[in-house]
Amino acid sequence: MSLLQWEDRFSVGVDHFDRQHHVLVDLINELHDAMRAGKGQQELGGILEKLIQYTRVHFTNEEEWMVQYQYPAYPEHRASHKNLTRQVLEFQRQYKDGTIGLSVQMIHFLKEWLVNHILGEDKAYSPFFQAGRSK
């Protein structure tokens, strides 16, 4: 059973970003499922690495649009991206060092962060990008 189901309320009205958000949801579910199945550290580490790499691609894409369309909340949004990136890289470092394991709490943190980020900060850019693209 998936940890997180895609819901229409997650759509930001920009197909490109909705598709990327779908991938992020899928990667969080893949990580959760592998952890629940007791997969080894190497497999879990590989999924975590995929999630980190894809998140970087997604954040870069969003930030490029924010610059292109001169989104006024860009500095705050970028700071939110940087904060999550720092936290997840620290999780990864500790996981690789063996000082922490992947836990339900960590997976739920990632899920909650993604849901709250999409429904809050990402939804805020939706009308701005849609208006900018229609000019």
| pLDDT tens by residue, 60-103 | 999 999 999 899 999 999 999 999 999 888 888 888 888 877 77
Provide the number of structural domains found in the chain.
Answer: 1
Whether 82 is covered by a domain: the verdict is: yes
Query: CA-CA distances (angstroms) from residue 19 to 1, 11, 135?
Result: 21, 9, 23
Give me the torsion for CA of 70, 54, 83, 71, rounded to 10°.
Answer: 10
3 falls within a domain = no
Longest dimension (CA), the chain: 52
- Tell me if residue 88 falls in helix, strand or coil: helix
CATH number where 121 lies = 1.20.120.50
pLDDT in tens, 18-71: 999 999 999 999 988 988 888 877 787 888 889 899 999 999 999 999 999 899
Which residues of the chain form beta strands (DSSP E)? none
Q: List the domain range (segments joined by +) for residue 38.
A: 13-133
Does 6 fall in a domain?
A: no
pTM, entire model: 0.89
CA distance 121 to 135: 23
- Whether 4 maps to a domain, the answer reads no
